[in-house]
């Protein structure tokens, strides 16, 4: 467990001495981003410290049951109000990202703000745009780190139902319900404490993972049957979905969450990419096993980043061109990226 005390004292002082606090999550906020925002919000509220919450765009549908999520303002739906809040802020706490690009349309307003900026995160390669940066990839999730920070600020672990649920949601979504190797003994200790303090694990898991539409499951079947290519030579698989595909299965935000992991269950596949067509660009999710660094792959070829085994990025252009480009850079660079892969 890294020593957080040098940060927590300063953060605690900023929480106590700031008049206008804003908690900000990243674009396409996931369970960990929203969980981190809400955990901080609920803790601060218990100390009578008010905070606003803003996300660059809409939350995934399956997170909207979380207590307090309705208080998160969506920048693209309330631009003027959100700009006003950010411009008035004297403390901005950003969670679950460390690069200004992850702020979407809010980027310039936040970067220009004179507020004290804090980053709490667990991704690699921080971009250094905050005054206090706690960015530690040793944590399974940002909520696990938030929980450690709150424990230190509070002097003892803090548990209330909405707070504990938020921490738990971040951990279970970012670890794929403990399927990915990103959790540690500390993660399990935190989860054990949450369970001992009354968290309703089965209800939450149902809300997160068994709460989808029929069309979502059919979309998954379609993606695997009709839109998956396997490149055995490169131990690689990819899935792509067009806008029309999404429309015909009545896609809602969050429906394709987890699709990128599915090809990794095929024997021999160590690299999986999911392409989804957006307006004028293509969004990519990348996953790997072993030492294949998908964060470097995403940052070098798709202006993205993330973790060693889970990253994301984008391609400006058509879906067809993004796949063509991907296959080209894969062929040219596979050996280099896979060079020291122990799973080979
Ligand atoms: P996902 O595939 O679930 O969208 O993202 C996987 C991981 O990659 C997450 O930890 C996320 O923070 C990171 N990530 C996703 N998209 C981007 C991106 O466009 N830029 C950067 N820097 N990181 C991304
Ligand atoms: Mn995260």
Question: Model confidence over 250-291: pLDDT tens digits?
Answer: 999 889 999 999 999 999 999 999 999 999 999 999 999 999
User: β-strand 21-24 against 91-95: which pairing, if any?
Assistant: parallel
Contact status, residue 89 vs residue 73, Cβ threshold 8 Å: no
The residue to mutate among 312, 315, 316, having the most atoms of ligand 1 within 8 angstroms of its beta carbon, is 312
pLDDT of residue 236: 98
Q: Please provide the average confidence, as pLDDT, over all residues in the chain.
A: 95
Q: What's the mean pLDDT in 199-212?
A: 95
CA-CA-CA-CA torsion for 343, 98, 328, 236, nearest 10 degrees? Answer: 30
**Could you tell me the distance, in angstroms and rounded to a whole number, from the CA of residue 233 to the centre of ligand 2?**
32
Report the nearest-CA residue for atom 14 of ligand 1: 312
pLDDT band at 85 (very low <50, low <70, confident <90, very high): very high
The residue to mutate among 95, 311, 314, having the most atoms of ligand 1 within 8 angstroms of its beta carbon, is 311
**Could you tell me the distance, in angstroms and rounded to a whole number, from the CA of residue 313 to the centre of ligand 1?**
6
Contact status, residue 182 vs residue 175, Cβ threshold 8 Å: yes
pLDDT of residue 277: 98
Contact status, residue 268 vs residue 232, Cβ threshold 8 Å: yes
Question: Model confidence over 179-199: pLDDT tens digits?
Answer: 887 899 999 999 999 999 989
Q: Mention every residue, 6+ apart, whose C-beta is less than 8 A from residue 288.
A: 264, 270, 271, 272, 294, 308, 309
Question: Model confidence over 94-122: pLDDT tens digits?
Answer: 999 999 999 999 999 999 999 999 999 99
Token code pair at residue 169 = 């949601």
Q: What's the mean pLDDT in 193-209?
A: 96
pLDDT of residue 182: 86
Angle, helices 161-174 vs 31-46, to 10°: value is 160
In order of start, what are the domains of the chain with their CATH numbers? 5-209 (3.90.1640.10), 214-337 (3.10.310.30)
**Could you tell me the distance, in angstroms and rounded to a whole number, from the CA of residue 333 to the centre of ligand 2?**
27
pLDDT exceeds cutoff 90 at 339: no
Q: How far is CA 298 from CA 10, 39, 337, in A?
A: 34, 30, 12
pLDDT of residue 124: 83
Name the strands in the sheet holding 116-121, side by side, starting at the edge strand that comes first in the sequence.
Answer: 72-74, 52-55, 21-24, 91-95, 116-121, 132-135
pLDDT exceeds cutoff 60 at 153: yes
Q: What's the mean pLDDT in 295-319?
A: 95
pLDDT band at 342 (very low <50, low <70, confident <90, very high): low
pLDDT exceeds cutoff 90 at 344: no
Q: For residue 70, what are the β-bridge partners?
A: none
Q: What's the mean pLDDT in 26-40?
A: 97
pLDDT exceeds cutoff 70 at 241: yes
Distance in angstroms (rounded) separating the CA atoms of residues 308 and 105: 27
Q: What's the mean pLDDT in 69-76?
A: 98
């Amino acid at each position: 467990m890294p020593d957080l005390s040098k940060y927590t004292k300063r953060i605690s002082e900023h929480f106590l001495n700031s008049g206008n606090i804003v908690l900000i999550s990243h674009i396409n906020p996931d369970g960990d981003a929203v969980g981190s925002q809400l955990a901080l919000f609920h803790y601060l509220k218990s100390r009578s410290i008010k905070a606003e919450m803003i996300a660059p765009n809409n939350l995934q549908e399956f997170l909207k049951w979380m207590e307090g999520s309705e208080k998160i303002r969506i920048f693209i739906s309330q631009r003027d109000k959100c700009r006003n809040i950010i411009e008035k802020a004297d403390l901005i706490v950003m969670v679950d990202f460390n690069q200004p690009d992850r702020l979407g349309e809010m980027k310039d307003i936040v970067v220009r703000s004179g507020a004290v900026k804090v980053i709490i995160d667990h991704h690699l390669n921080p971009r250094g745009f905050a005054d206090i940066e706690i960015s530690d990839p040793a944590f399974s999730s940002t909520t696990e780190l938030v929980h450690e920070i709150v424990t230190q600020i509070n002097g003892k672990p803090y548990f209330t139902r909405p707070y504990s649920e938020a921490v738990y949601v971040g951990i279970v979504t970012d670890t794929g319900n403990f399927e990915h190797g990103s959790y540690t003994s500390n993660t399990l200790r935190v989860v054990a404490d949450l369970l001992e303090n009354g968290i309703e694990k089965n209800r939450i898991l149902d809300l997160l993972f068994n709460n989808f539409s029929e069309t979502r499951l059919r979309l998954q079947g379609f993606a695997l049957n009709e839109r998956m290519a396997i490149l055995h030579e490169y131990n690689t698989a990819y899935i792509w979905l067009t806008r029309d595909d999404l429309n015909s299965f009545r896609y809602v935000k969050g429906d394709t969450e987890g699709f990128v992991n599915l090809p990794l269950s095929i024997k021999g596949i160590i690299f999986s990419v999911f392409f989804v067509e957006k307006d004028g660009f293509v969004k990519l999710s990348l996953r790997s096993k072993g030492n294949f660094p998908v964060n470097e792959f995403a940052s070098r070829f798709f202006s993205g980043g993330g973790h060693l085994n889970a990253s994301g990025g984008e391609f400006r252009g058509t879906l067809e061109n993004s796949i063509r480009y991907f296959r080209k850079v894969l062929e040219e660079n596979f050996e280099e990226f896979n060079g020291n892969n122990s799973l080979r």
